[in-house]
Amino acid sequence: MMAQTVWIGIGFLGQALFSARFIIQWLASERSRQSVVPLAFWWFSLAGGATLLSYALWRGDPVFVLGQGLGLVVYLRNLVLIRRHRLAAAA
């Protein structure tokens, strides 16, 4: 029973992290007065996606696992592209 409660808490934490990325994106866009996707959006996507993936694995839900697993690839790729762009700009 205790393990189930902890995992449900992990699931809610993942969902909160994942949802927070939209608030971050919205606030950054409002501040810039144009659509902006800040770096924090991708980090919150990664953190929320990884947390939700662990929850989905615990639940044994293959649809949820596939969705979150594929999303992590996209989030990681965007972070790699951003890092490469920043390194090239600094050189």
Domain boundaries in the chain?
Answer: 2-90
This prediction's pTM = 0.86
Q: What is the pLDDT of residue 39?
A: 95
What pLDDT is recorded for position 1?
78
Residue 80 has pLDDT above 90, yes or no: yes
Segment 27-77, tens digit of pLDDT: 999 999 999 999 999 999 999 999 999 999 999 999 999 999 999 999 999
CA distances in angstroms from 72 to 3, 26, 30, 33, 88, listed in the order given: 25, 21, 27, 29, 24
- The residue that leads in pLDDT, 2 or 86, is 86
Integer CA distances (angstroms), 13 to 35, 37, 44, 74, in order: 27, 22, 11, 21
Residue 18 pLDDT exceeds 90: no
